[in-house]
């Protein structure tokens, strides 16, 4: 399916002529892997313009290419779209993120199941994050609609399981379980979701063979490792809308399985925020606020708006309890104010020259 030029409006017409040459497939692939690793460790948001140039080149090439290499280039283009969608989601640009994932799915057109499953899980994750923000805004109807879209995407990804290499299958099942846990109505439904999580855990140690990578098309499909699995499991135990179904102690047990230190600041942030939420549920408010403050410091470094919104929501919950007057909560409030209004805290802001 041809891809429109909706995402290329930042380029002037004359730049299209410069970009008409055939893209170097290996160079584009290595560039994507480089920035994916960079975003995993810290953030690649400042490199979006460079990534968009490759996206434009690949889009043009796929639109007009009829050579045997087209399927490979389609997969590469879809992977660029997936990565751009991930970054848009991290910065709360949910409609834009879903737009990228939609385009990626249109490119694959059901011709590559592992990549299709990856994009479905990513889009489902964006819907889920959008639903959480809608809940915080009191938009119940929107939240329910977004949660339904999230579950639909995760279920569709898992329906492809017989075509998926083990690591993609495990990641998809774990994400599906976490998505369903958000909307359970009773303990039996939560137990069903946790049974899926147990199924996913059985695939944690499945080797990622060369055959699996080949079946996946590229090695940068859904990753499935202990960090992501235990983050998903902890989220499933904490994200129930019904408070009585949350299991904070079990969530902390899951998070205790994470490596002592992660190479990824984003994973460190997610772990700290989940720990903070668990301790809030256990009424340990000082520790909850302290952990949330540590998560906030990392989220500001990676410019991760999705985590900042989650920390802000937790801070509001803390403020509604007897913890409101705690020093830790006061510090957290100041940190969130700085994160949401960086221009007011910039060095020299408001200074005036002294003419005397």
Q: What is the pLDDT along the chain (356 residues), one digit of tens a residue?
A: 444 444 444 434 444 454 456 778 888 888 888 888 888 777 777 788 888 888 888 888 888 877 777 888 888 999 999 999 998 998 889 999 999 999 999 998 667 888 899 999 999 999 999 998 898 888 989 999 999 999 999 999 999 988 888 888 998 999 999 999 999 999 999 999 999 999 999 998 776 654 444 444 444 567 788 898 999 999 999 999 899 999 999 999 999 998 877 778 889 999 999 999 999 999 999 999 999 999 999 999 888 888 899 999 999 999 999 999 999 999 999 999 998 887 665 654 444 444 44
Cα 52–chain centre separation: 19
User: Can you give the pLDDT at residue 254?
Assistant: 96
How many angstroms separate the CA atoms of 313 and 334, rounded?
14
Instruction: Identify whether 4 is part of a domain.
Output: yes
Residue at which a domain ends, from 59, 94, 111:
111
Query: Looking at the structure, do residues 192 and 266 belong to the same domain, yes or no?
Result: no
User: Can you give the pLDDT at residue 236?
Assistant: 94
Return the sign of the alpha-carbon dihedral for residues 268, 271, 276, 279. negative
Instruction: Identify whether 254 is part of a domain.
Output: no
Query: Looking at the structure, do residues 120 and 94 belong to the same domain, yes or no?
Result: no
Residue at which a domain ends, from 93, 111, 129:
111
Instruction: Identify whether 247 is part of a domain.
Output: no
The domain in which residue 287 lies consists of 259-341
Q: Would you give the DSSP letter of residue 5?
A: S
Query: Looking at the structure, do residues 90 and 117 belong to the same domain, yes or no?
Result: no
Query: Looking at the structure, do residues 137 and 232 belong to the same domain, yes or no?
Result: yes
User: Can you give the pLDDT at residue 333?
Assistant: 95
How many angstroms separate the CA atoms of 324 and 110, rounded?
52
Instruction: Identify whether 253 is part of a domain.
Output: no
Instruction: Identify whether 156 is part of a domain.
Output: yes
Query: Looking at the structure, do residues 139 and 233 belong to the same domain, yes or no?
Result: yes
Residue at which a domain ends, from 181, 211, 240:
240
292, 274 Cβ separation under 8 angstroms: no
Query: Looking at the structure, do residues 88 and 163 belong to the same domain, yes or no?
Result: no
For the chain, what is the domain count?
3
* Residue 77, C-beta contacts closer than 8 angstroms, at least 6 positions apart: 3, 55, 58, 59, 62, 104, 107
Instruction: Identify whether 352 is part of a domain.
Output: no
Structure-block tokens of residue 51: 């990534």
Query: Looking at the structure, do residues 49 and 151 belong to the same domain, yes or no?
Result: no
Query: Looking at the structure, do residues 107 and 119 belong to the same domain, yes or no?
Result: no
How many angstroms separate the CA atoms of 323 and 321, rounded?
5
Instruction: Identify whether 356 is part of a domain.
Output: no
Task: Using only the alpha carbons of the chain, give its radius of gyration.
Answer: 22
Reference 259, options 270, 268, 248, 247; nearest CA is 268
* Torsions phi, psi for 109 (to 5 deg): 45, 45
Instruction: Identify whether 252 is part of a domain.
Output: no
Query: Looking at the structure, do residues 121 and 230 belong to the same domain, yes or no?
Result: yes
Query: Looking at the structure, do residues 168 and 181 belong to the same domain, yes or no?
Result: yes
Query: Looking at the structure, do residues 7 and 104 belong to the same domain, yes or no?
Result: yes
Query: Looking at the structure, do residues 105 and 118 belong to the same domain, yes or no?
Result: no
How many angstroms separate the CA atoms of 191 and 180, rounded?
11
């Amino acid at each position: 399916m041809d891809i429109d030029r909706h995402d290329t409006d930042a380029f002037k017409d004359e730049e299209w002529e410069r970009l008409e040459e055939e893209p170097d497939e290996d160079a584009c692939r290595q560039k994507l892997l480089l920035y994916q690793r960079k975003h995993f460790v810290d953030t690649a948001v400042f490199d979006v313009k460079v990534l968009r140039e490759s996206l434009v080149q690949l889009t043009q090439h796929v639109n007009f290419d009829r050579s045997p290499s087209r399927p490979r280039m389609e997969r590469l283009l879809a992977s660029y779209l997936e990565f751009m969608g991930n970054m848009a989601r991290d910065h709360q640009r949910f409609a834009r993120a879903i737009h990228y994932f939609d385009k990626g799915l249109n490119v694959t057109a059901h011709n590559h199941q592992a990549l299709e499953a990856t994009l479905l899980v990513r889009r489902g994750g964006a819907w889920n994050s959008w639903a959480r923000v809608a809940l915080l805004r009191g938009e119940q109807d929107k939240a329910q609609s977004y949660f339904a879209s999230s579950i639909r995407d995760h279920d569709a990804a898992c329906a492809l399981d017989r075509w998926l290499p083990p690591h993609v299958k495990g990641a998809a099942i774990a994400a599906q379980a976490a998505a369903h846990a958000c909307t359970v109505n009773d303990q039996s439904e939560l137990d069903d979701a946790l049974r899926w999580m147990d199924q996913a855990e059985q695939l944690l140690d499945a080797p990622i063979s060369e055959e699996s990578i080949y079946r996946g098309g590229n090695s940068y499909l859904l990753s499935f490792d202990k960090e992501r699995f235990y983050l998903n499991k902890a989220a499933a135990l904490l994200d129930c809308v019904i408070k009585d179904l949350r299991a904070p102690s079990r969530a902390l047990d899951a998070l205790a399985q994470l490596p002592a230190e992660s190479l990824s600041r984003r994973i460190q942030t997610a772990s700290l925020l989940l720990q903070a939420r668990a301790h809030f549920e256990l009424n340990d408010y000082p520790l909850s606020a302290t952990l949330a403050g540590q998560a906030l410091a990392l989220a500001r470094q990676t410019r991760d708006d999705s985590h900042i919104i989650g920390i802000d929501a937790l801070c509001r919950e803390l403020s509604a309890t007897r913890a409101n007057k705690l020093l830790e909560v006061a510090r957290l409030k100041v940190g969130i104010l700085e994160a949401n209004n960086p221009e007011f805290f910039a060095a020299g802001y408001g200074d005036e020259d002294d003419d005397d």
